[in-house]
Amino acid sequence: MKVLYVSNEVAPFAKVGGLADVAGSLPQAVARRGVDIRVVMPLHRSCPAIEQCSVPLPCLSVQTPYRALVASVLQSTLPGSDVPVYFIKYDPFFDRPDPYGEGGTDYPDSPQRYAFFARAALALDHALGFRANVIHANDWPTGLLPTFQRLNPHGRPTVFTIHNLGYQGSFPLTVARDIDIDPTSPAMPLVQLGARINYMAAAIRSASVISTVSERYATEIQSSGSGHGIDDLLRDRAGDLHGILNGIDRDDWDPSDAPRLPAAFSADDLDGKARCKAELQRLVGLDVNPRIPLAVAVSRLVHQKGLDVLAEVLPRAVGRPMQFALLGTGDEKLERLYRALAQANPGRVAVSIAYDEDLARLHYAGADIFLMPSRYEPCGLSQLIAMACGTVPVVHSTGGLADTVSEAPPDQTGFVCHYLTPQDLLSAITRAVQAYETPDRWRPLMVRAMRQDHSWTKSAREYVALYEQARRKHAGG
């Protein structure tokens, strides 16, 4: 089995959110199952320089119906593995400060950038003589790949994974010409949604099979309340839509082998966690106090994450003995809101407006409680990382959060708020703080959270089965 895995973000080369974590770790787990899997991504500005890569091809000619563009290709591997990663280097499109856009808005030429990327990934597969049996595309930037394959008489089976239905790549109809899709061609009914071109819709209609990143989210997105306006397309494909839970790279996030943390710790020896907590408190300017429960959030600051609801109850939450530290960037209004909360609660609330991997690790390791009140959450990796670090999650019961965190004894791993109202959220936080105050309850809870198996083992097996299913389906089986 040969799989071409296509993603706009791959950790550690370019990361905006969890998609990068998945694209950097799932292919390794799939490769361990004997699959020849290769990763393709654009060469974003944060990716390695040419001196750190090999050059597998002299150049790559990317043919579109109207013109050919010439890109170059750099090659590296996913760290710690021999899974190849190919970077498509085309600076006019990808040598930019951010993979998607600026100030929360996609670059105006996004349709062209990703139409080009989809075509370049296919051209690369051909030029390398790889001829993947399955093409695995991820989220809207790769949404045209399944459509191009479906319309090609020699097209290959495709798996399309939805990581977040809230971002669809929806553009005015006029972009059809800019992306070399003739409005009278058979591609048009696949890419058009009402008076727009929609990359996510194109993929949902065209892929051999579709997956998303938790079972609960697979069900939720088929309902009008959570389907972001395209639930009908998903219901049409209900038989081909599968929920496969994300894993995390346990080695990467293991606090017992953590050179980037001030102290290591494990479920058997938690002493180092106290040092991480003291260091986090010191670094972000909270009162250094081992006894007060420390809650954190590490998040993109966007509406999805429900942090506006948290902001409403935070003054009351930290009125009890609790501290809070936020690490995040994004929406300016949320940044301002949280800065004001930090100013009003010195020593109790700390806010770091930054994207910082090492600081994120310290938050996960040093905290007692992880807050994730997302309005919706396809899977969520942050709560899994927190649990691996013995930081007990408080979550809204939605999507992957509902599938990975339970408040029900005897298997309790966290605290769950069933309705995302300020009252319910405050009540869940209060239950967590009360549990913290009873060490006989808290320690077993931390240890149980740490011992959850969120490795990729099971899900990688499910993806391989999905690749086989895509091949059968494509062959008409």
Residues that bind ligand ADP (CB under 6 A): 17-19, 21, 298-300, 327-329, 354-357, 360, 380-382, 385
Q: Residue 237: how many CB atoms within 10 A of its CB?
A: 15
Residue from 318, 322, 327, 320 nearest 297 by CA: 327
| Residue the block writes with tokens 């075509």 | 119
Our CB check for ligand GLC shows the closer of 7 and 133 to be 7
Binding mask 4-23 for ligand GLC (x = CB under 6 A): -------------xxx--x-
Q: CA 113 from chain center: how many Å?
A: 21
Our CB check for ligand GLC shows the closer of 143 and 400 to be 400
Tell me which stretch binds ligand GLC (CB under 6 A): 74-82, 99-107, 259-267, 376-384. Answer: 376-384
Q: Which does 329 bind (CB under 5 to 8 A by kind): ligand ADP, ligand GLC, none?
A: ligand ADP
Shortest reach from residue 415's CB to ligand ADP, in Å: 17
**Is residue 71 at the binding interface for ligand GLC, with CB under 6 A as the rule?**
no
* Cα–Cα distance, 314 to 295 (Å, whole number): 11
Alpha-carbon torsion, ordered 347, 351, 357, 361, to 10 deg? 40
Tell me which stretch binds ligand GLC (CB under 6 A): 263-271, 346-354, 378-386, 388-396. Answer: 378-386
**Is residue 248 at the binding interface for ligand GLC, with CB under 6 A as the rule?**
no
Binding mask 391-410 for ligand GLC (x = CB under 6 A): ---------x----------
In degrees and rounded to multiples of 5, residue 281 shows phi and psi of -60, -45
**Is residue 301 at the binding interface for ligand GLC, with CB under 6 A as the rule?**
no
Shortest reach from residue 260's CB to ligand GLC, in Å: 22
Shortest reach from residue 11's CB to ligand ADP, in Å: 8
Q: Which does 313 bind (CB under 5 to 8 A by kind): ligand ADP, ligand GLC, none?
A: none
Judge contact between 209 and 473, C-beta under 8 A.
yes
- For the segment 194-213, give every residue that binds ligand GLC (CB under 6 A): 213
* Cα–Cα distance, 270 to 256 (Å, whole number): 9
**Is residue 379 at the binding interface for ligand GLC, with CB under 6 A as the rule?**
yes
Report which secondary-structure segment, H or E, holds 313. helix 307-317
- Length reported for the chain: 477
* Cα–Cα distance, 304 to 218 (Å, whole number): 17
**Is residue 258 at the binding interface for ligand GLC, with CB under 6 A as the rule?**
no
* Cα–Cα distance, 294 to 367 (Å, whole number): 5
Tell me which stretch binds ligand GLC (CB under 6 A): 37-45, 128-136, 342-350, 374-382. Answer: 374-382
Query: What is the SS3 assignment for 8?
Result: coil
User: Cα angle at 443 between 442 and 445, to 5 degrees?
Assistant: 65
Q: Which does 213 bind (CB under 5 to 8 A by kind): ligand ADP, ligand GLC, none?
A: ligand GLC
Say whether the peptide bond before residue 410 is cis (omega within 30 degrees of 0): yes
Q: Which does 398 bind (CB under 5 to 8 A by kind): ligand ADP, ligand GLC, none?
A: none
Tokens of 386: 């927190």
Q: Which does 176 bind (CB under 5 to 8 A by kind): ligand ADP, ligand GLC, none?
A: none
**Is residue 141 at the binding interface for ligand GLC, with CB under 6 A as the rule?**
no
Shortest reach from residue 395's CB to ligand ADP, in Å: 11
How far, in Å, are 426, 433, 442, 443 from residue 438 at the CA level? 19, 9, 6, 9
Residue nearest to ligand ADP (CB): 18
Binding mask 151-180 for ligand GLC (x = CB under 6 A): ------------xx----------------
Residue nearest to ligand GLC (CB): 18
Q: Which does 142 bind (CB under 5 to 8 A by kind): ligand ADP, ligand GLC, none?
A: none
Binder among 27, 111, 143, 380 for ligand GLC (CB under 6 A): 380
**Is residue 375 at the binding interface for ligand GLC, with CB under 6 A as the rule?**
no
Cβ-based burial of 94 (10 A; exposed 0-12, middle 13-18, buried ≥19)? buried
**Is residue 293 at the binding interface for ligand GLC, with CB under 6 A as the rule?**
no
How far, in Å, are 105, 151, 171, 175, 191 from residue 195 at the CA level? 20, 22, 9, 11, 11
Q: Which does 143 bind (CB under 5 to 8 A by kind): ligand GLC, ligand ADP, none?
A: none
* Cα–Cα distance, 221 to 121 (Å, whole number): 28
Q: Which does 355 bind (CB under 5 to 8 A by kind): ligand ADP, ligand GLC, none?
A: ligand ADP
The residues, any chain, with a CB within 8 Å of residue 122's CB and separated by 6 or more, are 135, 145, 148, 149
In degrees and rounded to multiples of 5, residue 31 shows phi and psi of -60, -35
**Is residue 387 at the binding interface for ligand GLC, with CB under 6 A as the rule?**
no
In degrees and rounded to multiples of 5, residue 324 shows phi and psi of -140, 135
* Cα–Cα distance, 429 to 351 (Å, whole number): 19
Our CB check for ligand GLC shows the closer of 299 and 323 to be 299
Contacting positions for ligand GLC (CB under 6 A): 17-19, 22, 163-164, 213, 246, 377-381, 400
